Structure 1
């Protein structure tokens, strides 16, 4: 997996993820959506060698982003925004990306996790749980985005395990084999630490 930090960067190969700190603080869902689309259009234009206005991003009935123009590229797109950072994932297969803020002052909502995930968090030192939960939740959201279901798929119905600082594994009873995804942590230019996760489905 290739991680890029500038909307001017062109990925030499796919899949790739751009994590772009924008320095902005969207106030609502509309502003977050506009920020995502604007950043995605700019970097996709660079990646595909066209003008910004020639990139058209739409959404399917489930809310998944679709690259409508340029046509016939056979590419899959996933977008996320958190704390002023926009994540854009591009791949030739279904892909999901998510970014989550590490919330050190809040208790994680353990009741929406798979029992194996709750057990793994309990085994982690208390001062490391906030980061682990952010990575875990980013991975879960990235996975349901790649599936195209969003959290129409119950988050406790599959289990994510954090294999290392850079990788996670998804065990889903509806799929024959486990799948591997990728993790990264970053700062948004301010005080927030963010966890990003991406997964590409076969």
Structure 2
């Protein structure tokens, strides 16, 4: 359990809800399951079986907390989007958990926001839209979010070997309104994806986040 005083202010409510569930379950499993449930909620009833298979291990109080976690997450995103900036609350919280649960399956650390913004400024031009932009080791998708802040209207492609990272990337892209695809694959070996996700394919019509999973879990 993360101590409240050691958790960034904007993540404290999320941490309190998460900690309640992690008392009885493995913390890394809870985080992964939460990502799955968020994706299922954004999948517009196309992943009901995956949703039910994930949720069944939790009791009523834990399910209520998972629901509140999703609402809290959306509020965090909304504030940043209102300010016309990007945010990665899932990756940020994951790093907090990695430092606290060192033996429970956490192990990713991501490029700091300032460096992502600087890299995007070096490589992306304003009003140069209609391009395909790829990150072959995307993590939680931070470099793509930074690129989209400079110029919207591009198509983003992300790959990562870690399915937890892939899920975070999908959610970040969907809620920030990026259009593209995310592949769970080993880019260095150039293998076929184990799972693929289409992000916001109808954003121009609906302006509603949508994640479509094109392959079943192995």
TM above 0.5:
no
Structure 1 or 2: larger helix share? 2
Structure 1 or 2: larger strand share? 1
Q: Which has the higher contact order (CA 8 A, sep 6+)?
A: 1
- TM-score, normalised to structure 1's length? 0.28
- TM-score, normalised to structure 2's length? 0.27
